[in-house]
Structure 1
């Protein structure tokens, strides 16, 4: 609550430039649902940031559905940012946890949310994935093949996974031109949000600008990615 109150104070002082997403006590889903409601309805925040797992528990776990019910009713933005990934013990060298583990855990969280039926059950939540969605744009076709091949993958879904994943938003914190083009081709220009990962040591405002400027897209699409989509999503 203290953090969210501080966020709200910043937003109030700069309403034309800033909004914020709440931080939630995810170890307590009921308290998280209550704080999300307070943050949105009383503080004017637009949603919340979720970690990609909660102490190793998948975001798709039913214990979090009370939070998603509230988020759905509020039409909230839920932004997934990675944290210590599953299998972190194998990532102790060479900064493999943030370099490899973070996009891996984002991918795992998104796939689990879709296959579990969470995304289909709570359709008014607006999902955002960091780091260009990890591997989601790359493996979405493979997830669709799993949906077609395995009954378990169809148990909670009526539509192929990619149809849901194309409705997610993806930030551009992967500055490789080929990766950006793949995400753009997968989700379309209205689902891409400019992201820099600032002030992380491997984040870069310059690289973000250069990577988006280098895309061969209409100026209107670039304007959407540089700010129009975020303004629409966040009500700026």
Structure 2
């Protein structure tokens, strides 16, 4: 069975060096000893992010035929457009080289200078038409604006025109929200840091991002626009009926929230390989709107292959759609 994974991250030493030259090497805030230890032992190293040979070894070991690559934390999306326009072009060119070196094993999602939406739309067009990229990944938000803001509309109009998907990826939430929801002197700042990010907080944040896109009415303007949401939809699928019940009469949308969600959004697990979650998502979304992802190298689940091959929740037809079929259709692989 062919396996394609969609949320797999990479970095470029050349790009990171160029970012550091442009804005100065980033300095970490004052962190406790516990938090420093956590970051050193739990997060991928630059070598993990950059080493293509190790990536291929992992893929071969766990039966991954193709990874759709996107940039990790060291990327220029949210920098000042004075530097991000140039650096995003460099980033996409560097990523294209990786794909060109192994075209049967890798595809790519573009990174865009979102602070200049017209330049971002032009770069997306270049990345798709010239570099053969399969879509774009947008990380977090920009300048305290969610992407439903009309400022960003040219990006989504271009994605719709090109018929490529937009993958919404989490990022760190503002400090005041971290403090309000997750801070407490009764527990370690490691708990606060993890809870506000990979544990819960950034999933909540990017789930709200997708909700806001629907409420903005963008799918009435761009019915061909396609979004991808990781981590089984960042908690939103559990509330589809609730959102319909509470908001349909007030949203001003042409259809209930869940109709847009089930039609215009595709979900991936991002390495959260849990059978109960898979069963729930199958019931809520149907087998045509789920695709596979492992979140390499942040996550390297040892059941990455067996979750597909031995999972009783899937019929043979559903297994093929989940493992590769839906990705091939949506991303034109």
Q: TM-score, length-normalised on structure 2?
A: 0.65
The question of 1:88 aligning with 2:178 is answered yes
> CA contact under 8 A between 2:165 and 2:228: conserved in structure 1?
yes
- Structure 2 unmatched ranges of 5 or more: 1-88, 184-188
CA distance, structure 2, for counterparts of residue 47 and residue 196 of structure 1: 18
Aligned to 2:75: none
Alignment of 1:65-76 (within 5 A): 65-76=153-164
The partner residue of 2:286 within 188, 200, 210 is: 188
2:330 is matched with which residue? 233
Larger Rg: 2
1:58-207 to 2 correspondences below 5 Å? 58-85=146-173, 87-89=177-179, 90-91=181-182, 93=189, 94=191, 95-96=194-195, 97-149=197-249, 151=250, 153=251, 155=252, 157-167=253-263, 168-173=265-270, 174-200=272-298, 203-207=299-303
Unaligned runs of 5+ in 1: none
Point out 4+ residue stretches in structure 1 off by more than 6 angstroms.
Answer: none
- 1:48 partnered with 2:146: no
Which is further off, 118-127 or 134-143? 118-127
Cα distance in 2 between the residues matched to 1:207 and 1:165:
29
TM-score after normalising by structure 1: 0.90
User: What value does the CA root-mean-square deviation take over the aligned residues?
Assistant: 1.7
State how 1:4-23 maps to structure 2 within 5 Å.
4-23=92-111
Shift of 1:18: 1.8
- Bigger RCO of structures 1 and 2 (CA < 8 A, at least 6 apart): 2
* Cα separation, partners in 2 of 1:208 and 1:132, compared to 1, 3 Å: farther
Deviation at 1:33, TM superposition (A): 1.0
